[in-house]
Amino acid sequence: MTTLLSSLRSLLQSNADPEVRKSSGRFFKKGEEAMLYGVPTKLAIQIAKDFSKEVKLMPKREIFEICDELWRSGYFEEAIIACKLAESLEKQYEPADFKIFEHWVNNYLTNWADCDTLCNHTIGNFIMMYPDYIGELKRWATSENRWTKRASAVTLIIPARRGLFLKEVFEIADILLLDKDDLVQKGYGWMLKAASESNLDNRNKVFEYVISKRAVMPRTALRYAIEKMPKEMKVEAMKKV
């Protein structure tokens, strides 16, 4: 594993661009720690795909250990690779893997990009495979950790777009409703927006939910939630109560 990681890190360093590092750093606010090599994101994803092929015959446990080492580095590009590696194992997911994913969420996430990359696909796919674990997302929503709270919502982005888990979408939104963290607000607003995009019935239900909460829902979350709705719905939702 040490040789593999050394080779991977040398490849990242050889593709580092100071200008990319500088421009990418602007996407993160103060307090959102993100160490950067400066590798363009598209190239980092391609490196991740190539690396996934290189290790695909290794046991899942060993690949997860590699992911853990990548997460612990603190580098944004290594986090991308960890996420893509974990996602590549989707067909091998089993219930016990949830604790591994939860460990990453609670201990390694330091910015919105890492959070969304891990949760949208790896954990979102897991939840669709093992829906009994959706109750764990509600527990995450009560966390003191801002990234764990955001994770509870953004994990459901893709399932919600497919029309799944609408009841749980509203339950998680209820828990996060009054949170003062703008990244948590954007997270659950995005989740509601995704649910509204799935079909007309769900869009109407999301609209009704927003209307029922608009007196207290932070405007940031509200704007995200209604972004894809027709103009007349947006106007109604934005009216002050």
Intervals of CATH 1.25.10.90 along the chain: 1-92, 97-241
- What is the structure's pLDDT at 206? 99
Across 47-85, b (16+ Cβ under 10 Å) vs e yields: bbeebbeebeeeeeeebbebbeebbebebbbbbbbbbbb
- What is the structure's pLDDT at 28? 77
DSSP 217: S
CA 127 to CA 122: how far, in whole Å? 9
- What is the structure's pLDDT at 211? 98
Which CB contacts under 8 angstroms, 24+ apart, belong to 29-32? 32/110, 32/111, 32/112
CA angle 13, 79, 194 (to 5 degrees): 135
CATH number given to 97-241: 1.25.10.90
3-state secondary structure of 184: helix
3-state secondary structure of 111: coil
- What is the structure's pLDDT at 1? 67
Reply yes or no on domain 1-92 having CATH 3.40.50.2300.
no
Per-position pLDDT tens, the chain of length 241: 678 999 999 999 999 998 888 887 777 777 676 789 999 989 999 999 999 999 989 999 999 999 999 999 999 999 999 999 999 999 999 999 999 999 999 999 999 999 999 999 999 999 999 999 999 999 999 999 999 999 999 999 999 999 999 999 999 999 999 999 999 999 999 999 999 999 999 999 999 999 999 999 999 999 999 999 999 999 999 988 7
